[in-house]
Structure 1
Amino acid sequence: MATGNSYIGGVPTPDRTSLSAIVSAAGDLLESDGLPAVTMAAVAARVGVRAPSLYKRLRNRDELIEMVAEAALGDLRERLARAVGAGGDGAPVGDPRARLEALIVAAREFARVRPAAFRLVFAPGDLRLDPALLAATSAPLFDVVAELAGPRHALQAARTVTAWATGFILMELSSAFRLGGDLDEAFDYGIRRLAEAITDR
């Protein structure tokens, strides 16, 4: 097997262009120019190959977009896991309300860093995402709401929290809050009230 870079006419051959580099380039395009700009031709230009070469690794643009979304979910999953931390036995530490706040704040920070990726993952669409990845990303939230609301209401509580948090964040990204006031204060207020509302008394 040949080693090092392989070139034909000054252009890297497809076998020297990794799938991860293609997905990363597509993710960068998504953030800089928006979803419509993520075309096979534009991504190919970013990684230095001709567009037909991408089809050796991907079926079509839809598959590429799904892979970009899954990469974004992987990033979000890592951020959420770091936000709640873990003890020596692997269990999350700290008060469950504090962990709930940390999770929602981490999601908001992710959206500020990668707004287009946040919209791609959470806005309505036809993406077919890996169920195992979705479950892994949601696990920290399910764990904490199960403590607050009880296992019987964990799903309902998780959906309530997710709906409020994503709605708030998407409105913030779209500059849709038009009545003034401090958004950070409103965000903190919402988190506190949510935690109180879902807590099983």
Structure 2
Amino acid sequence: MPTPERTTSAAIVAAGREVLEAAGPSGLTMHAVAIRVGVRAPSLYKRVRDRDALVAAVAESVVDELSAELERVEQDDARPGKVDDLLTGLATTYRAFARAHPEGFRLMFTASVPLSSLDRAAGPVLRASAARVGQDDALEAARLLTAWMTGFLQMELAGAFRLGGDVDLAFDYGLSHLLKGLDG
């Protein structure tokens, strides 16, 4: 097995994300990550204090990836007068991310995530919300949008939409009506 010096913090976090998606939060153990990076579990402690620190690092990595994706949408779709298109792009990206990383998405809503990471992830939605409703109501609008999207996605990921119908159409319907509702 490689020596701990050959194992980087980045490799440990990447392995942690792989383990999380494959085995869920209970499977995200120091032992499972050590096996994935090719070292013995005690060697990880030279890079990661304990399991809580491992979970926090994985959670931060997940949120940072989502932040980068949302910021790309914001930069690519920042057209004056097209704020609803930007908000739709952000929502669609948020949903795609949740579907691609369901366990990481769920982990984002735990106390393990550093507040600074959450602040970065909120930036694009806050700025788009401010452009849509004004600075005074931006935080409330961003919270409304994020809460609706997160609730929808938590239900979707859990397979809770069992009454039939097209879930994609339901997402589009909900988002379009929510955006119209921002008109006050």
TM-score normalised to structure 1 length:
0.87
Give the Cα–Cα distance (whole angstroms) in 1 for the partners of residues 117 and 105 of structure 2: 15
Structure of greater Rg: 1
Which residue does 2:130 correspond to in 1?
A: 146
1:126 equivalent among 111, 118, 123? 111
Would you say the 8 A contact 1:157–1:198 is kept in 2? yes
Q: Residue 19 in 1 paired to residue 9 in 2?
A: yes
Which residue does 1:65 correspond to in 2?
A: 55
Structure 1: which 4+ aligned runs deviate by more than 2 Å? 84-87
Give the Cα–Cα distance (whole angstroms) in 1 for the partners of residues 97 and 113 of structure 2: 21
1:126: how far off?
2.5
1:79: how far off?
1.1
**Which protein is richer in helix relative to its size?**
2
Give the Cα–Cα distance (whole angstroms) in 2 for the partners of residues 86 and 105 of structure 1: 14
Pairwise CA RMSD:
1.4
State the AA in 1 paired with 2:118.
L
Would you say the 8 A contact 2:59–2:113 is kept in 1? no
1:74: how far off?
1.1
1:85: how far off?
2.5
| Structure 2, gaps ≥5 residues long | none
1:150: how far off?
1.3
Which residue does 1:111 correspond to in 2?
A: 98
Which residue does 1:102 correspond to in 2?
A: 89
How does 1:161-200 map onto structure 2 within 5 Å?
Answer: 161-199=145-183
Give the Cα–Cα distance (whole angstroms) in 2 for the partners of residues 86 and 148 of structure 1: 17
Give the Cα–Cα distance (whole angstroms) in 2 for the partners of residues 85 and 190 of structure 1: 25
TM-score normalised to structure 2 length:
0.95
**% identical equivalent positions:** 45
